[in-house]
Amino acid sequence: MRSDAVKKGLERAPHRALFKAMGYTNEEIQRPLIGIAHAHNEIIPGHIHLDKIVEAVKAGVRMAGGTPIAFATIGVCDGIAMSHTGMKYSLASREIIADSVEIMGQAHPFDAMVLVPNCDKVVPGMLMAMLRLNIPALMVSGGPMLTGRFQGRDVHLISVFEGVGRVKAKTMTSEELNDLEDAACPGCGSCSGMFTANSMNCLTEALGLGLPGNGTIPAVSAARIRLAKQAGMAVMNLFHEEIRPRDIATKEAFENAMAVDMALGCSTNTVLHVPAIAWEAGVELPLATFNEVSSRVPHICSLIPGGSHSLQQLNEAGGVQAVMRELLNTEFGLHQQVMTVTGRTLGENLQRAKVQDSEIIRPVDNPYHRQGGIAVLYGNLAPDGAVVKQSAVAAEMMCHTGPARVFDSEEEAQSAILAGSIKPGDVVVIRYCGPKGGPGMPEMLSPTSAIIGMGLGKSVALITDGRFSGGTQGACVGHVSPEAAEGGPIALLREGDTIVVDITNKRLHCEIDEAEMAERKKSWQPPAPKITSGYVARYARMVGSGSSGAILK
């Protein structure tokens, strides 16, 4: 056993003494030591209940003959961090989470691990660490929040963000917004909808590194506790069978996960996280691969925020496993021979799967959209690519031409939107918000929600070198690369320049000739760093492009 390095033989008597100082018995020390990396805290609603999930995992490990040993990592609530300096730390936290789990796994040589995250950067951070360590491991998340109810309709966190714009537009009163605020988030779990956290938890299941149900079983369901116990038992099987994460997370498994990404209409943040996770597994996933997969995988689930269905409804319809079962009917199908943490192949798992509601999970020959949920755009504004959640874009905005309204910060853009300065037809440009320029590539949920709330969702586009919440809808194009802080073309835009956002043809273009662009580039100067000390200052110096997953170099 790997843990023999700290518990076996005469020379390890001091190590055993330290275990005994914590109350471990000889019998517990002799068993396989199973690390449980969790992110329980009292600041993230998706994590407030993870202590209960951890206890269930521990029970499963003990039932299967192992000794569970839990330790915690950090986490950032993107909703609470939104629209202030805290958002600069959100994406950057992914690397700290990955590093901290790696450190604990190397300093204390566990025989296997269970990872218990739930929210945005914690899931990919833990997956990155899992693949670095490459010891038998699996992930079990805390599960999605239920939707709230307000004035006879389903609501969620994004409803509140959009409510701010509605109050400004005088289509909602402050009193109604207060009542919505009370109703939108009814309890624990990752925010309700196919936002980033739930996207990543579903893709963990599709990748084969989470048990069936990991992405969709509600946080408050007893089935979530049972799943956690099953995860504890499953990791012991992985240990005995010597099945490791890199045996599961192959190139074919990543292609399966990307297919599910397109079918579900997942968050644009998956385009940052999936390549970063693949990089840790030694698998190359160029950005253009997303378009290749999108062209052959239809969008068959219309989930919040782009549609009306909730994660709970997706779960009732058969969940991610049923989605994958339906994707077997596409021309290219899925790679069924890949291994999963069940100890069985994907094909064997899918024999048990069945679509229970053909409106929530549509047949592939009757999809919501013929192409997948995400598109990568290229052009003279984004030579290295830009990303849009095309499944959440109104039909009339799939091709939009308009004048640039240029802002060098999210705060300036938000003020202009709420003040009524943005008019139908405009293209809002928010720059110097990339991985280096942000720093930390902050999300733009407040301005995108304000655009929707102000009634401009079908007449205004937004482009940025920053990124979006999974809750963003509308013609919002992010991850524009190269970013402005690197002197990318977005840095050279001026107020009134004509911008073409052509999602149908995967094009992001500015009607400026090359000579004019070259002339503007001569006078461009890189901006002074926004933060000059501490972690994100170091992060800004080391981080790579959003087009390659914003990994640290």
**Active-site positions?**
469
Instruction: Give Cα separations from 91 to 126, 258, 483 (angstroms).
Output: 13, 21, 16
Question: What is the rounded CA–CA span in Å between residue 512 and residue 55?
Answer: 59
- How far the first Cα of the chain sits from its last, in Å, is 33
Helix axes 174-183, 157-168, angle to 10 degrees: 180
Question: What is the rounded CA–CA span in Å between residue 246 and residue 415?
Answer: 47
Closest CA to 329 of 352, 372, 290, 296: 296
Question: What is the rounded CA–CA span in Å between residue 408 and residue 446?
Answer: 15
Task: Determine contact, residues 539/530, Cβ cutoff 8 Å.
Answer: no
Strand partners, 161: none
Q: Can you point out the beta strands (E) in 120-213?
A: 137-139, 148-150, 153-155
Closest CA to 230 of 213, 247, 205, 215: 213
Q: How many CB atoms lie within 10 A of CB 108?
A: 14
Q: Which amino acid belongs to residue 318? A: G
SS3 content of the chain, % helix, strand, coil (to 5): 45, 15, 40
Task: Determine contact, residues 4/39, Cβ cutoff 8 Å.
Answer: no
Task: Determine contact, residues 328/260, Cβ cutoff 8 Å.
Answer: no
Mapped onto helix, strand or coil, the DSSP state of residue 504 is coil
Question: What is the rounded CA–CA span in Å between residue 471 and residue 163?
Answer: 14
Question: What is the rounded CA–CA span in Å between residue 208 and residue 290?
Answer: 19
Task: Determine contact, residues 180/160, Cβ cutoff 8 Å.
Answer: yes
Q: How many CB atoms lie within 10 A of CB 428?
A: 26
Contacts of 419 (CB under 8 A, 6+ apart): none
Task: Determine contact, residues 142/50, Cβ cutoff 8 Å.
Answer: yes
